[in-house]
Amino acid sequence: MQAASAPQLSTDTGAPSSDEAFRKLVTLPQGPERDALREEIVCAWLPMAHRLASRFRNRGEPMDDLRQVAAMGLVKAVDRYDPARGKAFETYAVPTVTGELKRHFRDHTWDVHVPRRVQDLRNQVRTARRDLAQRLGGRAPTCAEIAAEANLPEEDVLLGLEALESYSALSLDAEPAGVDGGATLADRLGSWDHALDIAVDREAAKPGLRRLPERERTILYLRYFRDMTQLGIAEHLGISQMHVSRLISQSCARVRAGALKETGTLRKTRAVPGAA
């Protein structure tokens, strides 16, 4: 049997109205004849799919890739369309192909993973902001104006605005715009100051250190800030090394107890760097 010939073009979409071909397709069993008719229908509607893909140009994806995604959506539409429901094929195919294109952007083109709800908010906020900017003569709309335009709570608008910056990520190796050979972004990022880890402990230890006798404060200073050995401290103060060791242990214990009292916690606090 011969496959159905391509019908006349529809006046509203420029794509063929394949009602007769679809009615025949659903009656055919799996086999070469059905495959040939299915391929003919897909080829007849392919220009429509390509036109839908062209709506998504200039969004960072090659047109060839977008056309391929649209063609895959068209194939899904052909396979799932049921002419018995009484709707024209284009009524079913257009949202199917468009949905496939949007899914492609959602799943494959974001540098940062963003939940689907936030992606939808981003699109709503972007459209509302663009329309408002045109009506406001180029003035940037406020968050409240965008919320009213998009019929969204201001919290969702803020989330959508934040997501606008999540579509693409900037490389840490990127140089400042217009500067050749300048410092990269990684070079200009701050680093964690490990002294902050013990800042609270230092503040909590200060009262206990002030309450120590002058000799004990001197020993702790020489040991932990001048990095002198216990033997060197002993010779400097004219006492035994064993006595220096005992005074260091006692002083650290007193300062630690005072620090725990100051902070009101049960954690073990190091009063001075290197204290045992």
Cβ atoms 31, 139 nearer than 8 A: no
Domain for residue 12, yes or no?
A: no
Residue identified by tokens 């049997």 is 1
In terms of residue numbers, what domain contains 125?
112-168
Where does a domain end: 120, 151, 168?
Answer: 168
Q: For 209-267, write each residue's pLDDT tens digit.
A: 888 999 999 999 999 888 999 999 999 999 999 999 999 999 999 888 888 876 664 34
Average pLDDT taken over every residue of the chain:
77
Q: For 40-65, write each residue's pLDDT tens digit.
A: 888 989 999 999 988 888 776 788 88
pTM equals 0.41
Q: What is the DSSP letter of 197?
A: G
Cβ atoms 58, 86 nearer than 8 A: no
Cβ atoms 253, 208 nearer than 8 A: no
Mean pLDDT, residues 5-12: 38
Residue 172 pLDDT more than 70? no
CATH of the domain at 119: 1.10.10
CA–CA gap between residue 71 and residue 249 (Å, rounded) = 78
Domain for residue 151, yes or no?
A: yes
List the end-to-end C-alpha distance of the chain, in Å, as a whole number.
93
- Let me know whether 132 and 104 are in one domain: no
Residue 256: its pLDDT value, please? 87
CA–CA gap between residue 45 and residue 79 (Å, rounded) = 13
Q: For 135-160, write each residue's pLDDT tens digit.
A: 887 678 888 888 888 888 888 888 88
pLDDT band for position 182 (cuts 50, 70, 90)? low
